[in-house]
Amino acid sequence: MKRNTKKTMNMMPYLLLLIVVSVSFIFLGSFNSKVNEISLKELQTNLSEQKVKELAVTPKEGSGVYVITGKLEGYKKTEIFELTVPYTDTVISSIYTLAEENEVKVDVNTNPENSTWLAILFNFVPIILIGGLMIMAFNKLGNNGKGTFDFGRSKAKMSEEGGKVTFANVAGLKEEKEEVQELIDFLKNPKKFTKMGARIPKGVLLVGPPGTGKTLLAKAVAGEAKVPFFYISGSDFVELFVGVGASRVRDMFKQAKQTAPCIIFIDEIDAVGRQRGTGLGGGHDEREQTLNQLLSEMDGFGENEGIIIIAATNRPDVLDPALLRPGRFDRQVTVNIPDVREREEILKVHAKNKTLAENVKLNHIAQRTPGYSGADLENLLNEAALLAVRRNKNQIDMEEIDEASDRVLMGPAKTSRKITDFEKKIVAYHEAGHAVSGIILPKGEEVHKITIIPRGMAGGYTQMLPKEEKTLVYTKDELLEQIVSLLSGRVSEELFMGEISTGASDDFKRATKIARSMVTEYGMSELGPIQFEHRSENVFLGRDYNTSKNFSDQVALEIDEQVRKIINSCYEKSKEILKTNKKLVDILAETLITKETLTKEEIEQIVKDYNENNKKSTKKNESEK
């Protein structure tokens, strides 16, 4: 009802304009037309002298008279004559006779009411059509259905009582929910906080990688608090016209004050909250004006009691410092990538409306998906469901889960791509080299899958997952073993094929990045515990395109030598591992050429058989000695 009233109010200026135009046309028409009153004798004389050009007779029912109108010679377009005669056969017949003698056509209006309506129709319909077209044009020039005069209005959409999303729909994020629980309690019972002299945070900034559930958490806060919820994207503030963004900020807070207590949610706030004075030419004036207005509304001269702002971003490093000070965004809540327990809870939420087979264990999927965000897990199950439909199955099997995981990581399989026997063999030995290093190294990653089926830009890949999930700390030995595993693909090509290919380029890139970070950032080299480089965030470009270097050219040479030393030592260690386990590499490579894909269970069985054969051969050699 409120929406209809608002639309009616927005249409009022156009309706008033239409009325004014219509009345103007009517008055102009009445002022411009001239009516000359003449007598019956004058009409008869003019007919006899052939001066009458047009003649019309209209009977007035119930009055006993005729109204005669027409034009005389010399009249203007808007000039007519008019006279009223009694309803008698003598008068009318004399007029008809004179008109016939002088060849003047007489128009008789037998139904004057219809002619009146036709006149009204022809006079007013064009005006109404023109007015309607003007209203449509004004609405088209506006934004999101708003008129031209409303472009300064806020684009924030309001939900009366939050939304249907609650904490029950948000899996995991236990600590994050506790951080925002105070906001819900304040909105429900503010007196409990004011009694203790506590000031609730005016703004909460949700920070984290994409897809971790920041927007979902904000919706859940509104759903739990059951208060009006305004939601808008940071990009909706900035427009072509100068001052529009600041006007929209003012209007948004004005609307929020009328419904306080309430929540305002700004998604992707970095679009409008970037640090001022940065970029080429000194920054973006319109965006900075919008930011200034937002800063003023959050904590300026005026008070906005009962309004809590929740914002989300994955680039907190580019935000203006004034936006992050106490009194504005008082609290930052980091929404991180979920751990294995949280991933299982997220999978349970997204699996509610899906038909899973008995062999699909969500805890196993959670263990196999480290580094996946909530959005990635939802996409994984959705891809599996699409594959099951495509294969005309009634339920989702583990086979679809595996294929969906590969599609999410590497893209769809290129089964129709034709490859030569040599390419197949060199890719098989390359992937077998990666796998053997992971199997043999004590702190290496666990091999879950090997395939030589091309996916995306890769000819094949080895899926290796950490034995224990880590998010914060890696030791020097663990980093070195990662480099050894990455280099083992090239080493295997060199040892077993006598050739090297371009397939190891991405491995080198990742290995070099780890080695350089060990030297310049982590202090894990002979140069000592010194940080030579740190990432410089370019606010304008929004990327780490450069790093700041506070060292001489001599030190730069020493850094390069240390990086080379780490890579070379890991390369030699990889050679040693693969030479020692030459038979295992051959077995894995030959099996891959035949089967193309090996699962974790198959790999474990091959390794088990290999170890048993080694023990038997060792005992046989000892007995022979």
CB 587 within 8 A of CB 610: yes
Gap between the Cα atoms of 353 and 619, Å rounded: 57
Name residue 334's beta-bridge partners. 207
**Residues near 279 by beta carbon (within 8 Å), at least 6 away in sequence:** 539, 540
Name residue 455's beta-bridge partners. 413, 458
Gap between the Cα atoms of 362 and 469, Å rounded: 17
Residue 446: CB atoms within 10 A of its CB come to: 15
Whether 431 is catalytic = yes
Gap between the Cα atoms of 464 and 462, Å rounded: 6
Amino acid present at 181: Q
**Which residue is associated with the tokens 């506790």?**
178
Strand order in the sheet with 446-451: 461-465, 446-451, 597-599
Cα Rg of the chain (Å, integer): 42
Q: How many residues does the chain have?
A: 625
Strand 229-233 and strand 157-159: the pairing is antiparallel
Gap between the Cα atoms of 302 and 73, Å rounded: 76
**Which residue is associated with the tokens 């929404």?**
335
CB 426 within 8 A of CB 499: yes
Short-list 418, 412, 593, CA closest to 497: 593
Short-list 569, 571, 603, CA closest to 587: 603
Catalytic residue, from 288, 344, 383, 431: name it.
431
Short-list 471, 178, 512, 209, CA closest to 341: 471
Residues that are catalytic: 431
